[in-house]
Structure 1
Amino acid sequence: MSVTAEKTGPGTRAERAPGPPAPAKRRTPSLGQRIWRERWAYTFIIPGALFFLVFSYVPMLGNVVAFQDYTPFRGFDGSPFVGFYNFQQIFYDPEILTALRNTLIIAFLQLAFAFPAPIALALLLHSLLSEKVKRLVQTIVYLPNFLSWVIVISVWQQVVGGGGLVAGIMDGFGMPGFDLMTDSDSFKFLVVAQNIWKDAGWGTIIFFAAIAGIPTERYEAAAIDGASGWQRTWHITLPALVPVATLLLILNIGSILTVGFEQLLLQQPMVGADAAQVLDTFVYFRGVLGGQWGIATAAGLLKGVIGTILVLAANKFAKRLGGEGIF
């Protein structure tokens, strides 16, 4: 019955039929209850959290060495506090200026050539009609990612070194000797080429997965409208890769001052410190081998601060351009 009120006369109050009871307010579970409810999910998170805690966050406490005249024998408590003296020494050290210059040049070359290489390779694989050829090429270019830098440099030494394959072929034709591995002038380009050969396959998988997520209906509709292969790539494929490329670019900019410690350390004896000394190798030689822990830690801390600033700036710039950024 929908009748809820009835008049009995002038001045008489209307009587309403009782409605349904108000729903009970749900009680919000506490933090402890939510953690207990999702305890199995947190159990799987614990190993990864412990890894970053032990190997990333706890070692950050050692940055106090950058403000001390530190020696391992005196320890943190016994080493005198020197303020920003170690940072001042950095800017007057010609060796670190050389390392910084080499780091920036190699980083710029990697952003210009090594970063677009996986995108170009992914587009090339996407254009192949044969699935067997596509999988074969993808497997071949991905295999070097499993090799250590010791093996990679040994392979390149056997190909473009003084006694390598290219030098042997040129010698057979009576041409002068060839040794790219000891040429300090072209060493930075050699480093970038090694990075492309080793890591382009891994990046291709990431971009190829993004391409696979594009609906085929878009390509079919574009083909019906008369779009060529290049037009479909420009207007459909490349816009779909922009979010992934933006994310990877921001991360690469954050690590722009980290250009490969092991790769450069192994090749430095062949080309000299003037060509192969970077910030990471400077920290190793000056701190671990030289015992100047304060200056080495200050250089590493300064590199981390610059990397953080670059990540924040790149993320903000990406958002201003209409992208999503990483946070």
Structure 2
Amino acid sequence: MATDTLLVNEMLVFAKVVELRSFAAAARQLGLTTSAVSRSVGRLEAHWGVRLLHRTTRTLSLTELGAEVHAGCVQLAHTARDVHAMAGHYGDTPRGTVRMTAPTVFGELWLAAQLPALRQRWPEVQVAIHLSDHVVDLTEQGLDLAIRIARPEHLPQHMVARALRPVRYIAVASPQYLQSLGAPLEHPDQLEALARQHRVQCISLGYGDFQNLLQWLPPNADLSTEAAAAPIVTELPAPLSVASSTGITVLALQHQGIGLVADFAAQAALDEGSLVRVLPGWRLTGGYAPRIAYALYMPSRHVPLKVRALIDHLVEAGQSVA
């Protein structure tokens, strides 16, 4: 039994060496010395009486038999991970570190605000968040899940997605800026008229679909027929564009124009009254059509309990978003 256990351990070490193409890198990840990793692979070769690796001072490559053995070792490592995940799945209490990625502004303003309640509920769960607006490969980066804001048709097909909350894009401005325009705004045509008079401007997100061409649906538009509805189109001058809802909110607070932002970014300013909605009953569509914040993770037969606990917590928090 002791020999079998030792053999399994050394097969896992061998798989890690091949994965990282380095004895030193494998040692660092496994918490061993480089010499211990080298001896482990040597014992495996001695056990079977074969050479598994061609080694030089700079490179490692598999022998023909080594490639076949490696395939079995990788399968063993996958099985071990599945068993570990299954054990966590049936545990009583979520515990451990969830490593995740999220869009920068969403992570700073909405996601971070949900973590104190999570920690109070599950104190043995730790969360490590990498904030980035770039799409990150979960497997390559060793992450458990990603949060992405997208339309359903743009979700990656190879990942599991759970909807957390809607994300709507809204037009906001300071009360002082709106007062400077004269009469209260009640219809997008008024914005179009003010734009022709060079009396109004917007601050756009300025990337991808987010430009200064605004499409508005009226308050009584039926969402089930939105695709067939004819929105009212307004093009506003945009001397300022910032690829961040936070930056746009700051500029709107300084009376620089009508800001086009994600709702969660402006919520605090709206609550305190330093910003107000522009055409509050109207809904932006087209490039500024609503999205959904999703939690994405790789499919697995056994999702770790710590990951499920975090996602469930965020789903519950998202249900409070009107």
Larger gyration radius, structure 1 or structure 2? 1
**Is the helix fraction higher in 1 or 2?**
1
Fold shared per TM-score above 0.5: no
What's the TM-score once normalised by structure 1's chain length? Answer: 0.23
